[in-house]
Structure 1
Amino acid sequence: MDDGTARNPHLGQRVLRWGPATAPIVVLAAHGRGQEPEFMQRLAGRFGPLPARFVAPAAAGDSWYPQPFRQPLAANQPNLGHALDALDRQIDELLGAGTPARALVLLGFSQGACLLTHLLLTRPRPLGAALLFTGGFIGAEPIPAPAPAALDGLPVLVRSIRDDPWVPAHRVLDSADLFKAAGARLDLHIAPGDEHVVTDEACVAGADLIHRLAAGDLP
């Protein structure tokens, strides 16, 4: 069990790591605005025991980019570009250290889910799965759809709240459409309510996906 922290040379911030070093699945977790990696550790704890180890970088100043995610892209630069580059490099480092692409899972909540959604849709690559809780692509305007097979077969679990105060359901749905257009295997559910939370159902679904990925039970 690695319960320590390390430095992320790209963000200049710490990286929290936990879980068995020999676990077959690696989860890269991105926290929301005003949160720290420990939030993602607590969220993962709600999944129950998992065959996974976690890597959770901290955003500078607890925020990946400064303005609301539906502002024009330029309003969040250069921070947005730096954050996308940093997570891209974190993925490269995990793959370069021996993690198979099929065993790498992305997990994000709120601003972190927005960042990972945008990363997958604008810089698609083969990975194991994505768990995106209350997020959508970034910017004021629609983004181009990825190539039809860019995310071919990638399991993407999308969960949100119908009247979430920060992330409107229509942006979640628009993002889901882009995932489907790119060939992802989408599991989408928007729960009733008006709180900015991760539901118990989302945690159960996320845990099930990770277990099935580890067991090789995904089609």
Structure 2
Amino acid sequence: MNPHLGQRVVTWGPPEASVVVLAVHGRGQEPEVMRELAARFGALPARFIAPAAAGGSWYPLPFLQPMEANQPHLDQALAAIEARIDTLLDTGTAVADLVLLGFSQGACLLAHLLLTRPRRLGAAVLLTGGFIGPDPIKPPTGADLAGVPVLLRSIEDDPWVPADRVVETGHLFEAAGARLDVAIEPGKEHVVTDEACTAAADLIRRLRPRSG
């Protein structure tokens, strides 16, 4: 049994909104952190869904540790997010209306998911995160990510996420055909800046709601 799938889910935003944001929190956090982050985006025509990780974390060790050191937790976390995505799509969310939003460990998890198990979606907003593991990975083949807007933001001297890993992650998305917007801002704290919030909100607003 996947321990992450039995956890609570926090939702907010207009229930009639066609755009749905799956918001994935960081290590040692709760879904409410993502709600506080989204409040900084301002009013948006989007519905947010934020699942909780079992024990507050998606996998136990830092994301740059050897892959096997984070197993089986990492595969369970990836499968749990895939299951959440599948449920949203199966219950009426259009692929073009689905946004993945992650911060810190959540951004790492989503980046790794999209680069190793690519799938179509409306957009991805990855704040302070990169693909998982100490070794380089190859960009995905196929056209799943072609044209998908991907926003990457991080801090130059973030204590947990090296800026070069964020940049490398961006290169992989570009190689896969995504429409990349990446910026590394000065600083030494593990935070989401106001600029990142504005950019994320602008991207979500640009998604065209479905008619009818």
Match of 2:91 in 1: 97
Q: Name the aligned partner's letter for residue 111 of structure 1.
A: Q
- For structure 2, list consecutive stretches of 5 or more residues without a partner in the other structure: none
CA distance in 1, matches of 2:106, 2:176: 21
Pairing partner for 2:101 from 90, 102, 107: 107
CA contact under 8 A between 2:155 and 2:187: conserved in structure 1? yes
1:165 maps to amino acid: P
Identity %: 69
Match of 2:147 among 150, 153, 157: 153
Q: CA deviation at 1:140?
A: 1.1
Q: Which amino acid aligns with 2:113?
A: L
2:154 maps to 1:143: no
1:72–1:139 Cα contact (<8 Å) kept: yes
**Match for residue 184 of structure 1?**
178
Matched, 1:21 2:15: yes
**1:71 corresponds to 2:97:** no
Would you say the 8 A contact 1:24–1:214 is kept in 2? Answer: no
1:135 match: secondary structure: coil
C-alpha contact (below 8 Å) 2:18/2:209 kept by paired residues = no
Equivalent residue pairs, number: 209
- 2:130 aligned with 1:131, yes or no? no
Residue 171 of structure 1 is matched in structure 2 by 165
Q: Offset of 1:145 from its aligned partner?
A: 1.4
Match of 1:37 among 31, 46, 50: 31
Q: What letter is aligned with 1:141?
A: D
CA distance in 2, matches of 1:37, 1:195: 21
Q: 1:27 aligns to what SS in structure 2?
A: strand
Residues in 2 aligned to 1:63 and 1:23: alpha-carbon distance in whole angstroms? 29
1:214 aligns with 2:212: no
How much does 1:96 deviate? 0.2
Which aligned runs of 4 or more in structure 1 are off by greater than 2 angstroms?
A: 8-11
Tell me if the contact between 1:51 and 1:214 (Cα under 8 Å) persists in the aligned partners.
no
Segments of structure 1 that go 5 or more residues without pairing to the other structure are 1-7
CA RMSD across the alignment: 1.4
3-state DSSP of counterpart to 2:61: coil
Q: Which of 4, 11, 17 pairs up with 2:5? A: 11
Residue 3 of structure 1: aligned partner: none
Residue type of the alignment partner of 1:61:
G
CA–CA separation in structure 1 for the residues paired with 2:187 and 2:11: 32
Does 1:199 pair with 2:193? Answer: yes
SS of the aligned residue for 2:42 comes to: coil
Could you tell me the TM-score, scaled by structure 2's length?
Answer: 0.96
- After superposition, give the CA deviation of every residue in 1:10-59 in whole Å (9 maximum; x if it has no partner): 52210111111101210000000011000000000000000000110000
How does the TM-score come out when normalised to structure 1?
Answer: 0.93
**Would the aligned equivalents of 1:102 and 1:128 in 2 still touch at CA under 8 Å?**
yes
